[in-house]
Amino acid sequence: MSDTDSATAQLSRIAAAIEALLEEQRRDRPRPVDWRATAFRWRDGGYLEAINRPQTLALELLHGIDDQKRRLVANTRQFLDGLPANNALLWGSRGTGKSSLIRALLGAFAERGLRIVEVEAQHLVDLPDIVAQLENRGERFVLFADDLSFEAGDARYKALKAALDGSLAAAPDNVLIYATSNRRHLLPEYQSDNQQAELVDTEIHHGEAVEEKISLSERFGLWLSFYPFDQANYLAIAARHLHALGVAASVGEEQPWERAALQWALARGNRSGRTAEQFARDWVGRLQLQS
């Protein structure tokens, strides 16, 4: 290799090193947040990204979960009014409206200052950084953690536990956490856990494994349980989604859509709000294709 080639190679390495350093500095530089948005997501680079077209729906479209809806709406109104309110855990069967209910809150209360920040499970360790960006804002923020599930010793689990109740730093008044999960205690439950229980003076004392599982979920002040829908509720939900898509549908009149909706659920082994919505989209799409 000639001296010229060697010098050129060395300069190329220096240029690459400088570019890498500049890129690292760009990543570390705080990114501006578009606070005009009503929904955000926390990104890997450690910044809030505005969601320009958040997916939401009307509260009245949610059928079969009236009690859960009433309680979460009441808690959210307290929060928006500056009154005491609780972090909420929505747990239960898949497709029963847990995530949809939280998304519907945005459409109902965005004008009153509600904002939702979507936080994926892997970003739970960033909760202190997220809260630090929100605590001095005038809006009210719900941190939305969807479909949570942990394993024992998971760092994300410990971060969420501290954020809920366990950190020396007090949680700001304008931030709540709403989480959804298929597990009541967010952690897997094993038969061996119950074998550690002891009977002390006629009272049952759970073993350490059970106590650890309960210690996270009980830090949510509001627990809302969601269960599979029966056939009547499933059909009522499907009818509402059909109406929303412009197709008249009445339950109990043995219309063709009812049989099709039941067959659709049977094929998926699940009667849920999500299944009903998917059926409605398919049914209306095929009707429009035939017309």
Do both 107 and 155 map to the same domain? yes
Strands annotated E in 82-217: 88-92, 114-118, 140-145, 175-181, 198-200, 203-205
Distance in Å from the first CA to the final CA of the chain:
74
Return the residue matching tokens 């349980």.
225
pLDDT at 173 over 50: yes
Domain that holds residue 273: 231-290
Do both 204 and 275 map to the same domain? no
The confidence score (pLDDT) of residue 285 equals 94
Does any domain span residue 285?
Answer: yes
Do both 152 and 213 map to the same domain? yes
111-169 tens-digit pLDDT: 999 999 999 988 888 988 999 999 999 999 999 999 887 766 666 767 777 777 655 45
Q: Rounded distance, CA 160 to CA 155, Å? A: 9
Q: Dihedral sign, CA of 209, 213, 215, 218? A: negative
User: How confident is the prediction for the chain on average, in pLDDT?
Assistant: 82
Q: Which of 4-8, 17-21, 100-104 has the lowest mean pLDDT?
A: 4-8
CATH value at residue 101: 3.40.50.300
Q: Rounded distance, CA 149 to CA 183, Å? A: 7
Name the percent of the chain lying above pLDDT 70. 79
Does any domain span residue 16?
Answer: no
Q: Which of 33-42, 67-76, 122-131, 169-178 has the lowest mean pLDDT?
A: 169-178
Q: Is 181 exposed, middle or buried (0-12, 13-18, 19+ CB in 10 A)?
A: buried
